């Protein structure tokens, strides 16, 4: 079991909590009571990802599980939009996000069930806890689960450039910020020019954000890597099963 120490928990409370979130995030928040955990985005008006996060139902509370480096900006963003809504936002230091591959009585990751189970706990668990997140990142990268803050930055890519993006967006609920662009891409079944994909790599690891080169031409950038696999943002036409990476260069088997 891993303690996801890079995550922070924000509680959203008040009578308008669900309706407030429903109007701005991409997924259907009204399903939180049934599903217990939902993954969602907050987008720019042009449809790019500003924030990605999980929503948890925990002891009749709605909790936002987000990368610690994004939490302050998310709070500012939500505070700006809440206006007169009966909504309260609190950063909680007494709740912790954990991940496990064990079978427990909690739903699997809504983006990809093979990515195990994440949950919030009000106890800092000590025994048999891996505090380095190695197991989580090994599993996440192998299963092509891309994370903002680890693999890409805010306001740089579109949801449809990510694997499993439809698990994070409801195309049946009402409007949300950036909906027009995302819905048009989905209903027209258009493919993005670039995509995040998992490729094998050899040689020297490359830091996330480093350019990905092909014949001295940049064709994308690196995300995170583990166990000889790497997540990369790449031209879709070059994302093929026989491709691999070596020392920052794209190669063909």
pTM of the model: 0.92
Domain end residue (candidates: 110, 142, 174): 142
Residues 61 and 137 placed together within one structural domain of the fold = yes
Reduced to 3 states (helix: H, G, I; strand: E, B; else coil), residue 232 is: strand
Give residue 64's pLDDT band: very low, low, confident or very high (50, 70, 90).
very high
Report the pLDDT value the prediction gives residue 126, as an integer from 0 to 100: 62
Residues 15 and 135 placed together within one structural domain of the fold = yes
Which parts of 37-182 are beta strand (E)?
A: 37-43, 49-58, 61-67, 88-92, 96-100, 117-121
Number of domains in the chain: 2
Report the pLDDT value the prediction gives residue 156, as an integer from 0 to 100: 95
Residues 181-190 pLDDT 10s: 999 988 888 8
Kindly tell me the sign of the dihedral angle through the C-alpha atoms of 156, 157, 162, 168.
positive
Please say if the pLDDT value at position 123 is more than 90.
no
Residues 163-176 pLDDT 10s: 999 999 999 988 89
Please say if the pLDDT value at position 232 is more than 90.
yes
Mean pLDDT of 63-68: 97
Residues 128 and 237 placed together within one structural domain of the fold = no
Residue at 157 is within a domain: no
Q: Domain range holding 133? A: 2-142
Cα–Cα distance list, 116 to 109, 167, 190 (Å): 6, 15, 30
Report the pLDDT value the prediction gives residue 128, as an integer from 0 to 100: 64
Domain end residue (candidates: 122, 142, 162): 142
Residues 109 and 29 placed together within one structural domain of the fold = yes
Please say if the pLDDT value at position 131 is more than 70.
no
Exposure string of 155-178, with b = 16+ CB inside 10 Å and e = fewer, is eebbbbbbbbbeebbbeebeebbb
Mean pLDDT of 32-38: 96
Residues 8 and 118 placed together within one structural domain of the fold = yes
Please say if the pLDDT value at position 127 is more than 90.
no
**Which tokens belong to 245?**
């990476």
Q: Which helix (H) or strand (E) holds 185?
A: helix 179-187
Residue at 177 is within a domain: no
CATH number for the domain spanning 13: value is: 3.30.1360.120
Domain end residue (candidates: 74, 108, 142): 142
Please say if the pLDDT value at position 1 is more than 90.
no
Give residue 124's pLDDT band: very low, low, confident or very high (50, 70, 90).
low
């Amino acid at each position: 079991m891993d303690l996801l120490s890079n995550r922070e928990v924000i509680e959203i409370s008040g009578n308008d909590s669900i309706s407030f979130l429903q109007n701005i995030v991409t997924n259907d928040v009204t399903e939180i009571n049934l599903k217990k955990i939902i993954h969602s985005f907050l987008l720019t008006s042009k449809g790019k990802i500003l924030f990605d996060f999980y929503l948890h139902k925990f002891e009749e509370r709605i909790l936002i599980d987000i990368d610690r480096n994004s939490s302050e900006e998310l709070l500012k963003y939500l505070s700006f939009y809440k206006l007169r809504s009966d909504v309260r936002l609190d950063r909680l230091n007494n709740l912790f996000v954990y991940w496990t591959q064990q079978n427990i009585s909690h739903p699997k990751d809504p983006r990809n069930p093979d990515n195990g189970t994440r949950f919030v706990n009000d106890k800092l668990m000590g025994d048999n806890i891996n505090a380095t997140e190695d197991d989580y990142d090994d599993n996440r990268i192998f299963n092509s689960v891309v994370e903002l803050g680890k693999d890409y930055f805010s306001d740089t890519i579109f949801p449809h450039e990510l694997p499993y993006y439809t698990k994070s967006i409801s195309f049946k609920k009402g409007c949300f910020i950036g909906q027009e662009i995302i819905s048009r891409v989905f209903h027209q079944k258009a493919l993005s020019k670039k995509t995040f994909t998992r490729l094998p790599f050899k040689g020297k690891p490359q830091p996330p954000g480093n350019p990905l080169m092909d014949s001295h031409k940049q064709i994308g950038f690196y995300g995170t890597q583990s166990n000889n696999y790497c997540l990369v943002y790449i031209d879709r036409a070059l994302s093929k099963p026989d491709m691999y990476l070596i020392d920052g260069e794209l190669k063909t088997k």
